[in-house]
Amino acid sequence: MNPRRKRRLTVVSIILFTLASATALVLYALSQNIDLFYTPTEIVEGKGAAQVKPEVGQRLRIGGLVVPGSVERIGDGLTVAFDLIDQGPATVTVEFTGILPDLFREGQGIVAQGELLSANRVLAHEVLAKHDEEYMPAELAEALKGIRHVPPSQWQQGEGTPYGSSYGGQQ
């Protein structure tokens, strides 16, 4: 092999090794920040056709409805445990220490981000309460008193738009 070809092979090998190393480091960094979404049934019974269950200690997000009567304050008053359910029969207990969102209540949909402690128990680091498109903060509702409000669910039914009937060129 002549020196020119040998040098070219060395440079190409170094470039390929550098690209492979950079790709491996990026994939490793991303794997540490991925939180997969599960429902209570998917945590208990498994997800997909292969019925893959999350591993204990895995970071995840869980979404479902808070079971009425399941909210329990523990100890200092900031620690709360409650059960989540979806359309399936499985329930998962979520433990959270902190201040719950204002919209959190029994029967309401929530999403919790945390770590799986056991087959049906999650330690949440963050709890987000869901609301529908009709939600309006009390301060905004007070400021809009007297203004005719058309809920978004009626916009598609032709009963009005938020800006009047001439909005968007429709007469």
C-alpha–C-alpha distance, residues 99 and 42, integer Å: 27
> According to the annotation, is 135 in a ligand binding site?
yes
* Cα Rg, the chain, nearest whole Å: 26
Amino acid at 132: D
Q: What angle do CA 31, 32, 37 make, to 5 degrees?
A: 75
DSSP code of residue 23? H
pLDDT of 14 above 90: yes
| Span 9-34, average pLDDT | 89
pTM, rounded to two decimals: 0.61
Q: Which of residues 71 and 30 earns the better pLDDT score?
A: 71
Note the pLDDT tens digit of each residue in 24-68. 999 888 776 666 888 888 888 888 788 888 888 888 999 989 999
C-alpha–C-alpha distance, residues 171 and 166, integer Å: 5
Distances from the Cα of 94 to the Cαs of 39, 83, 90, 147, in angstroms?
12, 6, 13, 41
Residue 137 — pLDDT band, cuts 50, 70, 90? low
Amino acid at 73: R
| 44: exposed, middle or buried (Cβ count in 10 Å: 0-12, 13-18, 19+) | middle
Amino acid at 139: E
What is the SS3 assignment for 50-110?
CCECCCCCCEEEEEEEECCCCCEEECCCCEEEEEEECCCCCEEEEEEECCCCCCCCCCCEE
The CB density around residue 155, as the number of other CB atoms within 10 Å, is 13
Note the pLDDT tens digit of each residue in 83-136. 999 887 889 999 999 999 888 888 888 999 999 999 899 999 999 987 766 666
